Amino acid sequence: MINLIEETTKFLKTKGFANPEIGIILGTGLERLPEHITIEAEVSYNLIPNFPTATVAFHKGKLLYGKLAGKKVIVMQGRFHVYEGYTLQDVTYGVRIMHALGIERLLVSNAAGAINLNFKKGELMLIDDHINLQGGSPLAFNGVDQLGDRFVDMAAPYDKDMNKTLESLAKQSGIQLHKGVYASVVGPQLETRAEYRYLKIIGADAVGMSTVPEVIVANHLRLPVIAVSVLTDECDPDNLQPVDIPDIIAMAEKAEPDMIALFKGLIETL
């Protein structure tokens, strides 16, 4: 993997991806943040050596580089998932590349379903902890110890200082920002009523199909990371409605301005 990372990094440097400070991963329906970035370079995933290709229709599949809130940022406009047929190492390859290019912080966003019924769709949840239900680890491969410690402590996977700043910014701006536990499942099917009940019992406040592998690798690289979920649906097992993908996308778009405001505000403080 070291050789692959070196090849990818060298290519991106020739495309102008130089000395970034912050990495950002954008999830489902969260596409408007780049409108706030002064873009200096961009490249499609399918043109980057060794990079996976995003196959989800509502993920753009581009790597962007530019300036946001006075900082140099790299943005993954679209991420990878195990349900696309990728390995956990593939899913997290972008995190390793952004780190190799020099980022010092990682900001992650996703769309998730609200297990905690006190949370409503269209609101945001700051991830304080997570439950990995993806059936594996992005660190479970031969040679991982050449990239960092094999046994990574996960007592506090999300950066406490950045989390406190986000909470403060949300309060100042009147943005509803819940805090809770995110459960990451494989998907792509959504959960049954029994599975939603199970997730609630084990302590999940929201559920999605991403983020946790990326956060594990960020911790492996000792890269401070935070993550925010846009709550796109309410997962009430006693009143469960059929999935409506257009409604989920609409809810993500509704909440996106608040997420952008928080990310921009946070970046200004870093």
pLDDT along the chain (270 residues), means of 10: 94 96 87 91 95 67 95 94 95 97 97 96 96 97 91 97 97 97 96 97 98 98 97 93 83 89 95
Q: How far apart are CA 25 and CA 109, in angstroms?
A: 6
* Domains in the chain: boundaries: 2-269
> What does the pLDDT read at residue 126?
98
Please enumerate in sequence order all residues whose Cβ is within 8 A of that of 2, keeping only pairs 6 or more positions apart, or say none: 143, 146, 147
> What does the pLDDT read at residue 185?
98
Please check whether residue 105 is in contact with residue 72, taking contact to mean a CB–CB distance below 8 angstroms.
no
What the block records as the tokens of 70 is 């006075």
> What does the pLDDT read at residue 245?
80
pLDDT more than 70, % of the chain = 97
Residue tagged 């991106």 (tokens): 12
Single-letter residue type at 127: I
> What does the pLDDT read at residue 252?
83
> What does the pLDDT read at residue 29?
61
> What does the pLDDT read at residue 154?
97
Rounded to two decimals, what is the model's pTM?
A: 0.95
- The CA–CA distances, whole Å, from 111 to 41, 54, 126, 243, 248 equal 26, 16, 12, 14, 8
Q: How far apart are CA 26 and CA 109, in angstroms?
A: 5
CATH entry, 2-269, from 3.40.50.10790, 3.90.180.10, 3.40.50.1580, 3.10.580.10:
3.40.50.1580
Q: How far apart are CA 252 and CA 242, in angstroms?
A: 18
What the block records as the tokens of 211 is 């983020």
